């Protein structure tokens, strides 16, 4: 897979998945692990059997386990269904594919069980090892652990496979819906920004962690961004045209802490000369003008939106909410919260 943006950690909340994975493993008596499209684990191994722990720790045998995981996942995606098979030690495993936009990104692997003798099926062994005396000795050392592997009926294995398949589909569909909702919301508020294609859902900056909270946070950020773009439509018109590029740049980057040197570069003049003509233009030096302007923008946001103070602080480039409140009080002699409350009372 050439697209590096498809990462399982952007689709599945791995921390919460680990908790669910552990519970599922305990109830189903199966070990469960989540792997990427190469068969490399991206989650810890839940309820991993002692036999398989010993095999997966072995530098020679572990690559065969990863090949089984990878090939099992590919078979599952080819069938678009759970795939039940035998590993290189004839242990029963299941591959449940995870697919986004018709692209295979990984699988949930379950198993490490044996079928009861009466339920033996003609299952495919995906990977075979060349005969080796060393491997035989390793197997003999783990023979007791092999004998203690859980045994299930084929129907039990099949039922578990289908349950995991539906669960994975649900998780992926929710992730896609979440990202699609955010993209459409952004498109509505910011029509000049192109809507991300489906292929970018997995690369969305919205983390899987937090579910609905993540959606709320992202939508809030988008709303603040939109509100800032709507602020002060009539920008400052400088009496000295040499300064106009600086004012334009300042108004276009309300979320940044621009220095005097940053603005001087926009005018292609030295900082010292910029400072002199700026003070002549505005009646105050830049270090006093810039925070005063940001507080004016903050007042507009406090009036026009319901965004909390900390989000307004972040949106206007203050280093933290405490400094924002201190600066606001310096100019307005009251806190942002009190200012908003008084404004609402006067309406």
Look at residue 119 in the predicted model and tell me its pLDDT.
61
Look at residue 197 in the predicted model and tell me its pLDDT.
41
Higher-pLDDT residue of 175, 267: 267
Which domains, and CATH codes, for the chain? 8-174 (3.30.450), 175-229 (no CATH), 231-346 (1.10.10.60)
Tokens of 295: 């507080």
Question: Binning pLDDT at 50, 70 and 90, where does residue 214 land?
Answer: low
Q: Give the separation between CA 100 and CA 69, rounded to whole angstroms.
A: 19
Task: Say if residue 254 is exposed, middle or buried (CB neighbours under 10 Å; 0-12, 13-18, 19+).
Answer: buried
Please give the model's pTM, rounded to 2 decimal places.
0.53
**Whether pLDDT at 203 is above 50:** no
Which of 66-70, 151-155, 259-263 is the most confident on average? 259-263
Q: Give the separation between CA 142 and CA 137, rounded to whole angstroms.
A: 9
Look at residue 343 in the predicted model and tell me its pLDDT.
84
- Once rounded to an integer, what is the mean pLDDT over residues 159-170? 87
Q: Please state, as a whole number, how many other Cβ atoms lie within 10 Å of the Cβ of residue 185.
A: 16
Angle formed at CA 186 by CA 184 and CA 192, multiple of 5 degrees: 110
**pLDDT tens track for 278-322:** 999 999 999 999 999 999 999 988 888 888 898 889 888 898 889
**pLDDT tens track for 218-242:** 555 555 556 665 555 447 888 999 9
């Amino acid at each position: 897979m050439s697209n590096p943006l498809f990462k399982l950690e952007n689709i599945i909340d791995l921390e919460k998945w680990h908790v669910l994975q552990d519970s599922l493993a305990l109830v189903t008596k199966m070990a469960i692990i989540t792997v990427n499209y190469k068969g490399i684990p991206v989650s810890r191994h839940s309820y991993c059997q002692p036999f398989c722990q010993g095999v997966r720790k072995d530098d020679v045998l572990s690559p065969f386990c990863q090949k089984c995981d990878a090939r099992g996942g590919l078979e599952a995606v080819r069938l678009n269904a759970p795939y039940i098979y035998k590993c290189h030690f004839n242990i029963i495993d299941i591959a449940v594919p995870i697919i986004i936009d018709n692209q295979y990104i990984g699988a949930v692997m379950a198993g490490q069980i044996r079928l009861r003798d009466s339920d033996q099926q003609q299952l495919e062994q995906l990977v075979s090892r060349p005969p080796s005396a060393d491997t035989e000795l390793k197997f003999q050392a783990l023979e007791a652990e092999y004998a203690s592997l859980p045994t299930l009926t084929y129907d039990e294995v099949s039922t578990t496979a289908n349950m995991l398949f539906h669960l994975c589909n649900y998780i992926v569909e929710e992730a896609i819906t979440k990202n699609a909702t955010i993209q459409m919301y952004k498109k509505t508020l910011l029509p000049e920004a192109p809507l991300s294609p489906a292929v970018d859902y997995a690369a969305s900056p919205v983390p899987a962690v937090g579910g609905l909270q993540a959606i709320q946070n992202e939508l809030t950020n988008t709303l603040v961004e939109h509100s800032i773009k709507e602020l002060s439509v009539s920008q400052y018109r400088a009496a000295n045209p040499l300064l106009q590029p600086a004012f334009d740049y300042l108004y276009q980057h309300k979320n940044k802490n621009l220095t005097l040197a940053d603005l001087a570069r926009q005018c292609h003049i030295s900082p010292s000369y910029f400072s002199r003509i700026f003070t002549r233009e505005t009646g105050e030096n830049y270090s006093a003008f810039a925070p005063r302007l940001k507080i004016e923008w903050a007042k507009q946001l406090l009036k026009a939106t319901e965004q909390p103070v900390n989000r307004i602080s972040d949106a206007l480039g203050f280093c933290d909410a405490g400094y924002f409140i201190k600066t606001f009080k310096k100019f307005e002699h009251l806190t942002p919260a009190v200012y908003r409350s008084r404004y609402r009372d006067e309406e």
